Structure 1
Amino acid sequence: MTAARLTAQERGRIASGLADGLGYAEIARALGRPTSTVSREVTRNGGRRGYRAEHAQHATAWRARRGAASPAEPPSFPDTHGRDPAAVLAYADRFAAMMVRAGLPRMAARVLACLVTTDSGGLTAADLVGRLRVSPASVSKAVAYLEGLEVVEREAVGRRERYFIDDDVWLRAWLASARTNATWADTARDGARVLDPGTPAGARLARMSRFFATVTDDMAASPSATARDDAVTVLAALAVADPAVVDRITGSFGWERDRVDAVRELLWQRTPQ
């Protein structure tokens, strides 16, 4: 049996085998590898449910670089608290990839992933340069972009700057998104007036304006929303974050199962799919 490291193609076949429900031994036989090699590979890189071939390849490359690094090289993971740095890196890559799919520039997504996966929620530019192995200019540009989205802030630490996210970052990002939608609605409304709603272009912009105005109302809790709607929306969000919240709340009222199920169905209808 060869002792060479797994290739990217082999990792892809492992991922496919896991997706098909194959066992380690069966996957190993198809690769011509020991079963222990496959099981160790999967265990180190997210387990059966979390294994991703690309992430595993990145993690292996990172471990190889760390092994060859000089003792004086600054740590790339300042506060992993004993966790496997490769596992942290793999998850950060996965988080960043999700952000890129959502429309975030790649470097901004990588910086945000670093901050999210750091216990302190903050890193200096030097930390980010060391962890991402990119230039200071790349980090600076990415941070400036994230500041524009109001998801990252900076503070002075001596002669350095520290970039950080706080616990309400997602709320602020949500509100910023609501403001952006409101701008879309206003701009499209102006365009409909200029081009005349009776023309195809004007009608298109009028529909766009109505769409973004509705989204803004839903997100920003406009005055047209009733207190009941607000309460149901908040409860729906809580139920998504913690499904047991419905049972705890309805249990305190002693409601029958049918009534509890009706509440659950209402919240499900109010939750974006």
Structure 2
Amino acid sequence: MMQSGLSKMGARVMVCLLTTDAGSLTASELVQRLQVSPATISKSIAFLESQSLVRRERDERRRERYAVDNDVWYQSMAASVRSITQQVEIARQGVGVLGPGTPAAVRLENVARFLDFVGESLARAAEQAREILYAKPEATSDSSASSTATSTGSTST
């Protein structure tokens, strides 16, 4: 997770949430499990929320819980698509400022076209794969699970 851009603490919080059966923890539970300050958890959660990787919810005791669930992954991809779309718009505005036909404007237009294609492809792929997030995996032995993951191109978190 750190290699994909998360800070060390953000990655620790994500892994902690992902590896709980409930998929959610309170701030105090995260503090206790990770042995860090409440401020550290608060900062990490704020960043993870800004990336649509974690969501807040209230439990029956009205405590705030931080959750990762199946839809969080889809929502994270949707947030990525929105970010890419903004970059496309900014690049195209830059073309107008620099003047069409200038080397810098041509470069920006190519960036915009590239990002537009990638954003549309990511949106389409996320929508097509969304049902995977809700599928119940078949019970398999460890060796067949790893060969299945390899043959389907899946990677672990």
**TM-score class, shorter:** 0.7 to 0.9
4+ runs of 1 displaced by more than 4 Å?
Answer: none
| Aligned pairs for 1:148-227 within 5 A | 148-157=50-59, 158=61, 160-221=63-124
C-alpha contact 1:196 1:203 (8 A) present in aligned 2: no
In the alignment, which of 101, 107, 112 is matched to residue 3 of structure 2?
A: 101
| Aligned pairs for 1:74-89 within 5 A | none
Amino acid at match of 1:207: N
Query: Secondary structure, in 3 states, of the residue corresponding to 1:209?
Result: helix
CA gap of 1:234–1:150, structure 2 versus 1, over 3 A, is closer
C-alpha contact 2:55 2:72 (8 A) present in aligned 1: no
C-alpha contact 2:84 2:115 (8 A) present in aligned 1: yes
2:23 equivalent to 1:121:
yes
> 1:120 Cα deviation (Å)?
0.3
Amino acid at match of 1:194: V
Q: Sequence identity, in percent?
A: 46
CA–CA distance in structure 1, aligned partners of residues 117 and 54 of structure 2: 28
| Aligned pairs for 1:35-50 within 5 A | none
CA–CA distance in structure 2, aligned partners of residues 109 and 196 of structure 1: 43
CA–CA distance in structure 2, aligned partners of residues 175 and 139 of structure 1: 25
Query: Secondary structure, in 3 states, of the residue corresponding to 1:198?
Result: coil
C-alpha contact 1:185 1:212 (8 A) present in aligned 2: yes
CA–CA distance in structure 1, aligned partners of residues 53 and 4 of structure 2: 15
Alignment gaps of 5+ in structure 2: 136-151
Alignment gaps of 5+ in structure 1: 1-98, 222-229, 242-267
Task: Give deviations 1:67-120, integer Å, cap 9, x for gaps.
Answer: xxxxxxxxxxxxxxxxxxxxxxxxxxxxxxxx1111112211111111111110
CA–CA distance in structure 2, aligned partners of residues 169 and 161 of structure 1: 17
Normalising by structure 2, what TM-score?
0.75
Relative contact order, CA 8 A, sep 6+: which one is greater? Answer: 2
> 1:156 Cα deviation (Å)?
2.7
Query: Secondary structure, in 3 states, of the residue corresponding to 1:118?
Result: coil
In the alignment, which of 48, 51, 66 is matched to residue 146 of structure 1?
A: 48
Normalising by structure 1, what TM-score?
0.44
Match of 2:36 in 1: 134
CA–CA distance in structure 1, aligned partners of residues 62 and 48 of structure 2: 22
The structure number with the bigger radius of gyration is 1
CA–CA distance in structure 2, aligned partners of residues 121 and 207 of structure 1: 41
C-alpha contact 1:196 1:202 (8 A) present in aligned 2: yes
CA–CA distance in structure 1, aligned partners of residues 103 and 89 of structure 2: 19
